[in-house]
Structures are given as C-alpha cells and as structure tokens.
Amino acid sequence: MKKVTCEVEGGVSREAMEVTANRLVIAGWAGRDSAEVEHHIRELEAIGVRRPSTVPCFYEVAPSLLTTSERIEVIGEHSSGEVEVVLVQSEAEGLLVGIGSDHTDRKVEGYDVAVSKQMCAKPIGRTLWRFAEVAVHWDALIARSWRVDSNGARTLYQEGTLARLMHPDALIRRAFGATSMLADTVLFCGTQPVLGALTFARGYELELHDPVLGRSLRHRYSVDALAHTE
C-alpha cells in the first residue's frame, strides 16, 4: 500500500485528499490505431525490447513506486520517462484523472519488460480531475511531454490527443475484466510515440491539457542518475 497527498480540482475549487494505492498497474501498447502501436513497438525493438505477444499488455508493480516527488533517482543513464494519463479509483471521490510518467529502465527492458517496470519510481502530479467532468470530451484532451536538459532547456518529446489511445472504459475492461476498477487502484493508461528517439534526460515535464474547459494538469520532475560501474 502507498499513500500520496493530492488535490482534486473542480471549477474554481481544490479539495485536498489522500490517494491510497493498493494496486498499481501499468498498461503498455494501448493505442487505438494498430499502425501507431506498431510504430511504438518498433521504437522499442530498436533499443532491444522484444515484441509483445499480445496488445495491450498490463504489468502490476509495487504501489510503493508511486510518488508525487519532483525528483527521482535511477541507475545509470539508460532510463526514460513518458507522459501518461493516470486513473485513480477513490472510494470517496470515484474515478479520478491524473498525469504521470511510466519512467522505465530501457536497458533492463531489453531482456525483461516486467522487471524494467519495477526498476524506477512512477511520478504523478499532485492535482487530479474528476473523470465525470472530462468524460464527454475525453478524446479532445491533449497529452504532451518535454525533455528537460541539465541547463533547463525544454524539447518537445511527445504530443497527441487521447483519441490515439484506448478509451478508459475499454482499457479498464481489458485490464480487470470489469466495468470499473476496485477502490484504491491506480492505472497508468499507456503512452504515445516519441518525437525522435527514446532518450535519457535530466528531467521531464508532463501536461494533460483540456481545451474545452481551458485547464491543464502539469508535473515536472528531475532525474538523478546514480553512478553505475560494470
């Protein structure tokens, strides 16, 4: 079990809440378009990751990896982050929407994807939306990420609408065989192809923009690479 302090944003109000994660599940290869899924598979094949036997895939990892910290530590310089919508099933608030990064050790991913998912912390932003407020225009939401260099320079790394990814209803059915998640479950909903190559960076900035309601979820975290000798 892991508890993190967040806040639920609705209209002009913000309500503090404690998110409890009894289960943390990471979805992979969760695109709607088979051509884009194939593109992402080839991105990973280029760095040695084996092709999945089925898509989407789901990996259950330790809830203790979940963090709202603005800094994570990794082994060496062969990991990378990515922007993902995060679904949080709260007993008090129902289904909530956040932004996060399935930060992954790409070297380990080359020989065992499930183990690679367990190697790095999973950052999420502190602000959440109620799913009911965005459900009608879900496909219009835009997910973006930037790589942040050591000097603070930002480079756009990913960008696309959620219409490119499986809808939460379909993803939840595939992951859990039910129409809803159990309370205190957190689901990372998959990502989109990067603009360029999968690369290590000193930090990542994440955004989920709602052009209908004119608001965004944002999170930025730095990556400290610990010394690693063979």
Percentage, residues of the chain above pLDDT 90: 73
Rounded to whole angstroms, the Cα distance separating 146 from 201 reads 10
Give the pLDDT band (50/70/90) at residue 160: very high
CB–CB of 57/37 below 8 Å? no
Token pair listed for 146: 């930037």
Lowest pLDDT segment from 12-16, 139-143, 191-195, 205-209: 12-16
Query: In this predicted model, which residue has the larger pLDDT, 193 or 147?
Result: 147
Q: How far is CA 17 from CA 7, 14, 105, 206, in A?
A: 5, 10, 31, 21
Would you state the pLDDT for residue 51? 78
Query: Taking 80 as the threshold, does the pLDDT of residue 39 lie above it?
Result: no
> Residue 53: what pLDDT?
76
Can you give the pLDDT at residue 45? Answer: 79
DSSP secondary structure string for all residues of 12-79: TEEEEEEEEESEEEEEES-BSSHHHHHHHHHHHHTTTPPPPSSSSEEEEE-GGGEE--SEEEEETT-E
Please work out, in degrees rounded to the nearest 5, the angle formed at the alpha carbon of residue 113 by the alpha carbons of 111 and 115.
90
Beta-strand ranges (E) seen in 149-214 are: 154-161, 185-188, 203-210
- Give mean pLDDT, residues 6-34: 90
- pLDDT band for 193, please (50, 70, 90 cuts): confident
* pLDDT at residue 87 tops 90: yes
* Contact (CB, 8 A) for 26 and 119: no
- Mean pLDDT, rounded, for 82-109: 95
User: In the chain, what percentage of residues exceed pLDDT 70?
Assistant: 99
Report how far residue 39's alpha carbon sits from residue 6's, in angstroms, rounded to the nearest whole number.
34
pTM over 0.75? The answer is yes
Question: Which residues neighbour 104 within 8 Å (Cβ) at sequence distance 6 or greater?
Answer: 79, 80, 81, 82, 116, 117, 119, 120
Q: What is the mean pLDDT of residues 130-144?
A: 98
Predicted pLDDT at 44? 72
Please tell me which residue, 152 or 51, carries the higher pLDDT value.
152
Domain ranges of the chain: 2-226
Distance of CA 75 to the CA centre of its chain: 20
If one looks up domain 2-226 in CATH, what number appears?
3.90.850.10
pLDDT band of 55, cuts 50, 70, 90? confident
Tell me what the pLDDT averaged over the chain comes to: 92
First to last CA, the chain: 34
